[in-house]
Amino acid sequence: MSTIAENIAKVGVRIREAAQAAARDSGTVKLLAVSKTQPAGSLRDAFAAGAADFGENYLQEALDKQAELADLAITWHFIGPIQSNKTRSIAEHFAWVHSVDRLKIAERLSAQRPAHLPPLNVCLQVNVSGEDSKSGCAAEAAPALARAIAALPNLHLRGLMTIPAPSDDPAEQRAAFARLRTLYERLGAELPLDTLSMGMSQDLEAAVAEDATWVRIGTALFGERHYP
Ligand SMILES: *Cc1c(COP(=O)(O)O)cnc(C)c1O
Protein backbone atom coordinates (compact mmCIF):
# COMPACT_ATOMS: atom_id res chain seq x y z
CA MET A 1 0.00 0.00 0.00
CA SER A 2 1.23 3.48 -0.75
CA THR A 3 1.36 5.91 2.15
CA ILE A 4 -1.56 7.80 0.69
CA ALA A 5 -3.65 4.63 0.54
CA GLU A 6 -2.73 3.90 4.18
CA ASN A 7 -3.67 7.44 5.16
CA ILE A 8 -7.02 7.16 3.40
CA ALA A 9 -7.70 3.97 5.32
CA LYS A 10 -6.73 5.66 8.62
CA VAL A 11 -8.92 8.67 7.96
CA GLY A 12 -11.76 6.29 7.07
CA VAL A 13 -11.35 4.66 10.49
CA ARG A 14 -11.37 8.07 12.21
CA ILE A 15 -14.58 9.00 10.39
CA ARG A 16 -16.25 5.69 11.23
CA GLU A 17 -15.27 5.87 14.90
CA ALA A 18 -16.42 9.49 15.19
CA ALA A 19 -19.71 8.63 13.50
CA GLN A 20 -20.22 5.67 15.80
CA ALA A 21 -19.51 7.80 18.88
CA ALA A 22 -22.16 10.24 17.64
CA ALA A 23 -24.63 7.46 16.81
CA ARG A 24 -24.51 8.48 13.15
CA ASP A 25 -24.43 6.33 10.03
CA SER A 26 -20.83 6.80 8.81
CA GLY A 27 -22.16 6.72 5.24
CA THR A 28 -23.53 10.21 5.83
CA VAL A 29 -20.01 11.64 6.26
CA LYS A 30 -18.16 12.05 2.97
CA LEU A 31 -14.45 12.58 2.50
CA LEU A 32 -13.25 15.56 0.48
CA ALA A 33 -9.54 15.07 -0.27
CA VAL A 34 -7.93 18.51 -0.08
CA SER A 35 -5.08 18.42 -2.56
CA LYS A 36 -3.79 21.99 -2.79
CA THR A 37 0.00 22.10 -3.42
CA GLN A 38 0.09 18.33 -3.94
CA PRO A 39 1.32 16.97 -7.28
CA ALA A 40 -1.09 15.29 -9.70
CA GLY A 41 0.54 11.92 -9.03
CA SER A 42 -0.58 12.08 -5.39
CA LEU A 43 -4.16 12.70 -6.47
CA ARG A 44 -3.89 9.74 -8.82
CA ASP A 45 -2.75 7.55 -5.89
CA ALA A 46 -5.60 8.83 -3.72
CA PHE A 47 -8.11 8.16 -6.49
CA ALA A 48 -6.80 4.62 -6.89
CA ALA A 49 -7.31 4.17 -3.14
CA GLY A 50 -10.93 5.24 -3.33
CA ALA A 51 -11.04 9.04 -3.06
CA ALA A 52 -13.28 10.51 -5.75
CA ASP A 53 -13.84 14.09 -4.56
CA PHE A 54 -10.94 16.54 -4.51
CA GLY A 55 -10.84 20.07 -3.12
CA GLU A 56 -8.54 22.72 -4.56
CA ASN A 57 -7.89 26.31 -3.43
CA TYR A 58 -5.91 27.88 -6.26
CA LEU A 59 -7.56 28.08 -9.67
CA GLN A 60 -4.59 27.78 -12.01
CA GLU A 61 -3.08 24.92 -10.03
CA ALA A 62 -6.44 23.14 -10.10
CA LEU A 63 -6.87 23.60 -13.86
CA ASP A 64 -3.42 22.16 -14.48
CA LYS A 65 -4.23 19.06 -12.42
CA GLN A 66 -7.64 18.67 -14.03
CA ALA A 67 -5.93 18.55 -17.43
CA GLU A 68 -3.39 16.01 -16.20
CA LEU A 69 -6.04 13.82 -14.57
CA ALA A 70 -8.73 14.10 -17.26
CA ASP A 71 -8.82 10.30 -17.57
CA LEU A 72 -10.15 9.94 -14.00
CA ALA A 73 -13.80 10.41 -12.97
CA ILE A 74 -12.96 12.97 -10.28
CA THR A 75 -15.54 15.36 -8.85
CA TRP A 76 -13.81 18.72 -8.37
CA HIS A 77 -14.61 21.11 -5.53
CA PHE A 78 -13.36 24.68 -5.26
CA ILE A 79 -12.73 25.57 -1.60
CA GLY A 80 -10.50 28.67 -1.68
CA PRO A 81 -11.13 32.42 -1.61
CA ILE A 82 -12.75 33.63 -4.84
CA GLN A 83 -11.84 36.78 -6.74
CA SER A 84 -14.42 38.17 -9.16
CA ASN A 85 -12.19 37.71 -12.17
CA LYS A 86 -11.97 33.95 -11.50
CA THR A 87 -15.68 33.16 -11.33
CA ARG A 88 -16.13 32.25 -15.00
CA SER A 89 -13.44 29.60 -14.96
CA ILE A 90 -14.66 28.24 -11.60
CA ALA A 91 -18.24 28.04 -12.93
CA GLU A 92 -16.96 26.12 -15.96
CA HIS A 93 -14.61 23.65 -14.29
CA PHE A 94 -16.02 22.62 -10.92
CA ALA A 95 -19.04 20.67 -9.66
CA TRP A 96 -19.00 22.26 -6.20
CA VAL A 97 -17.91 25.55 -4.64
CA HIS A 98 -17.71 25.52 -0.82
CA SER A 99 -16.40 29.06 -0.37
CA VAL A 100 -19.16 31.42 -1.53
CA ASP A 101 -19.34 34.24 1.00
CA ARG A 102 -20.93 37.15 -0.85
CA LEU A 103 -23.83 37.67 -3.20
CA LYS A 104 -21.83 39.30 -5.98
CA ILE A 105 -19.72 36.15 -6.35
CA ALA A 106 -22.80 33.91 -6.27
CA GLU A 107 -24.51 36.02 -8.96
CA ARG A 108 -21.48 35.81 -11.22
CA LEU A 109 -21.14 32.03 -10.74
CA SER A 110 -24.82 31.59 -11.61
CA ALA A 111 -24.65 33.85 -14.66
CA GLN A 112 -21.47 32.17 -15.89
CA ARG A 113 -22.43 28.53 -15.30
CA PRO A 114 -22.51 26.90 -18.76
CA ALA A 115 -26.01 25.91 -19.88
CA HIS A 116 -25.00 22.32 -20.66
CA LEU A 117 -23.90 21.66 -17.08
CA PRO A 118 -26.18 20.93 -14.10
CA PRO A 119 -26.54 23.72 -11.51
CA LEU A 120 -23.34 24.41 -9.59
CA ASN A 121 -23.52 23.02 -6.04
CA VAL A 122 -22.56 25.72 -3.56
CA CYS A 123 -22.11 26.17 0.15
CA LEU A 124 -22.31 29.52 1.90
CA GLN A 125 -19.13 30.00 3.91
CA VAL A 126 -19.86 31.43 7.35
CA ASN A 127 -17.44 32.88 9.87
CA VAL A 128 -18.34 31.33 13.23
CA SER A 129 -15.21 32.54 15.04
CA GLY A 130 -15.66 36.30 14.92
CA GLU A 131 -12.53 38.34 14.35
CA ASP A 132 -10.21 35.34 14.63
CA SER A 133 -11.19 34.04 11.20
CA LYS A 134 -10.71 35.97 8.01
CA SER A 135 -13.13 34.46 5.53
CA GLY A 136 -16.83 33.79 5.47
CA CYS A 137 -19.89 35.99 5.90
CA ALA A 138 -20.97 37.04 9.38
CA ALA A 139 -23.41 34.60 10.99
CA GLU A 140 -26.02 37.39 11.25
CA ALA A 141 -25.82 37.97 7.50
CA ALA A 142 -26.12 34.28 6.57
CA PRO A 143 -29.93 33.84 6.46
CA ALA A 144 -30.59 36.69 4.00
CA LEU A 145 -27.59 35.72 1.92
CA ALA A 146 -28.64 32.06 1.82
CA ARG A 147 -32.14 33.01 0.63
CA ALA A 148 -30.72 35.21 -2.13
CA ILE A 149 -28.29 32.51 -3.28
CA ALA A 150 -30.99 29.83 -3.22
CA ALA A 151 -33.01 31.96 -5.65
CA LEU A 152 -30.28 32.08 -8.31
CA PRO A 153 -31.15 29.90 -11.32
CA ASN A 154 -27.89 28.08 -12.02
CA LEU A 155 -26.77 27.43 -8.48
CA HIS A 156 -27.95 24.73 -6.09
CA LEU A 157 -27.43 25.94 -2.54
CA ARG A 158 -26.58 22.75 -0.65
CA GLY A 159 -25.67 24.11 2.76
CA LEU A 160 -23.05 25.84 4.88
CA MET A 161 -19.28 25.68 5.23
CA THR A 162 -16.90 27.01 7.85
CA ILE A 163 -13.22 27.19 8.75
CA PRO A 164 -13.14 27.98 12.48
CA ALA A 165 -10.19 29.64 14.15
CA PRO A 166 -7.70 26.83 14.86
CA SER A 167 -7.94 25.33 18.34
CA ASP A 168 -6.44 22.28 20.08
CA ASP A 169 -9.29 22.17 22.55
CA PRO A 170 -11.98 19.66 21.50
CA ALA A 171 -14.65 21.58 23.42
CA GLU A 172 -13.79 24.79 21.59
CA GLN A 173 -13.74 22.96 18.26
CA ARG A 174 -17.17 21.53 18.92
CA ALA A 175 -18.56 24.87 20.05
CA ALA A 176 -17.60 26.49 16.74
CA PHE A 177 -19.09 23.64 14.69
CA ALA A 178 -22.21 23.69 16.86
CA ARG A 179 -22.73 27.33 15.91
CA LEU A 180 -22.74 26.37 12.23
CA ARG A 181 -25.03 23.41 12.86
CA THR A 182 -27.52 25.59 14.73
CA LEU A 183 -27.58 28.08 11.87
CA TYR A 184 -27.97 25.21 9.40
CA GLU A 185 -30.92 23.77 11.29
CA ARG A 186 -32.63 27.15 11.44
CA LEU A 187 -32.14 27.75 7.72
CA GLY A 188 -33.14 24.18 6.98
CA ALA A 189 -36.64 25.00 8.17
CA GLU A 190 -37.12 27.18 5.07
CA LEU A 191 -34.56 25.94 2.52
CA PRO A 192 -33.91 22.35 1.36
CA LEU A 193 -30.32 22.02 2.64
CA ASP A 194 -28.37 18.76 2.99
CA THR A 195 -24.73 19.77 3.46
CA LEU A 196 -22.53 20.85 6.35
CA SER A 197 -18.95 21.21 5.10
CA MET A 198 -16.75 21.35 8.20
CA GLY A 199 -13.84 19.55 9.80
CA MET A 200 -10.21 19.26 8.71
CA SER A 201 -7.31 17.01 9.70
CA GLN A 202 -7.09 18.35 13.27
CA ASP A 203 -10.75 18.55 14.15
CA LEU A 204 -12.71 16.05 12.06
CA GLU A 205 -14.00 14.20 15.14
CA ALA A 206 -15.53 17.39 16.56
CA ALA A 207 -17.09 18.18 13.17
CA VAL A 208 -18.60 14.71 12.80
CA ALA A 209 -19.99 15.01 16.31
CA GLU A 210 -21.78 18.18 15.15
CA ASP A 211 -23.25 16.61 12.00
CA ALA A 212 -20.67 17.40 9.30
CA THR A 213 -21.54 15.81 5.94
CA TRP A 214 -18.27 16.70 4.15
CA VAL A 215 -15.01 16.62 6.04
CA ARG A 216 -12.23 18.39 4.11
CA ILE A 217 -8.98 16.56 4.79
CA GLY A 218 -5.56 17.54 3.44
CA THR A 219 -2.56 16.94 5.69
CA ALA A 220 -3.82 13.66 7.17
CA LEU A 221 -4.05 12.21 3.65
CA PHE A 222 -1.15 13.77 1.76
CA GLY A 223 1.27 14.88 4.49
CA GLU A 224 2.61 18.40 4.93
CA ARG A 225 2.00 20.90 2.18
CA HIS A 226 4.90 22.49 0.32
CA TYR A 227 4.12 26.00 -0.82
CA PRO A 228 6.23 27.30 -3.66
C1 LIG B 1 -6.30 23.40 3.24
C2 LIG B 1 -7.74 23.30 3.59
C3 LIG B 1 -8.26 22.18 4.23
C4 LIG B 1 -7.44 20.99 4.69
O5 LIG B 1 -6.75 21.29 5.83
P6 LIG B 1 -5.86 20.16 6.59
O7 LIG B 1 -5.65 20.73 7.92
O8 LIG B 1 -4.60 20.00 5.80
O9 LIG B 1 -6.67 18.91 6.61
C10 LIG B 1 -9.64 22.15 4.43
N11 LIG B 1 -10.44 23.15 4.05
C12 LIG B 1 -9.95 24.24 3.45
C13 LIG B 1 -10.89 25.32 3.03
C14 LIG B 1 -8.59 24.36 3.20
O15 LIG B 1 -8.13 25.47 2.60
Q: What is the pLDDT of residues 162-188, one digit of tens each?
A: 999 999 999 999 999 999 999 999 999
Per-residue pLDDT, 198: 98
Is residue 227, in this structure, part of any structural domain at all? no
- What is the rounded average pLDDT for all residues in the chain? 96
How far, in Å, is the centroid of ligand 1 from the Cα of 116?
A: 31
How far, in Å, is the centroid of ligand 1 from the Cα of 133?
A: 14
In tens, the pLDDT along 118-158 reads 999 999 999 998 876 678 999 999 999 999 999 999 999 99
Instruction: List the residue whose alpha carbon is closest to atom 13 of ligand 1.
Output: 79
C-beta 37 within 6 A of ligand 1 = no
Ligand 1, residue 200: give the atom nearest the CA: 9
- Percentage of the chain exceeding pLDDT 90: 95
Instruction: List the residue whose alpha carbon is closest to atom 7 of ligand 1.
Output: 201
Is residue 78, in this structure, part of any structural domain at all? yes
pLDDT surpasses 70 at 7: yes
The CATH number assigned to the domain holding 204 equals: 3.20.20.10
Average pLDDT over residues 56-62: 98
Is residue 48, in this structure, part of any structural domain at all? yes
Euclidean distance between CA atoms 216 and 54, whole angstroms: 9
pTM of the model: 0.97
3-state secondary structure of 172: helix
Enclosing domain of residue 98: 3-218
How far, in Å, is the centroid of ligand 1 from the Cα of 200?
A: 6
Strand 155-161 and strand 137-138: pairing?
Answer: unpaired
- Confidence category of residue 1, pLDDT binned at 50, 70, 90: low
How far, in Å, is the centroid of ligand 1 from the Cα of 217?
A: 6
Euclidean distance between CA atoms 164 and 127, whole angstroms: 7
- End-to-end Cα distance, the chain: 28
Average pLDDT over residues 204-210: 98
Cβ partners under 8 Å of residue 97, min gap 6: 77, 78, 79, 82, 90, 109, 120, 121, 122, 123
Per-residue pLDDT, 134: 72
Q: Best mutation site among 61, 96, 200, 217 for ligand 1, i.e. most ligand atoms within 8 A of its Cβ?
A: 200
Backbone φ and ψ for 32, nearest 5 degrees, come out as -105, 115
Number of domains making up the chain: 1
Average pLDDT over residues 182-200: 98
Per-residue pLDDT, 159: 98
Is residue 224, in this structure, part of any structural domain at all? no
Per-residue pLDDT, 73: 98
Euclidean distance between CA atoms 146 and 157, whole angstroms: 8
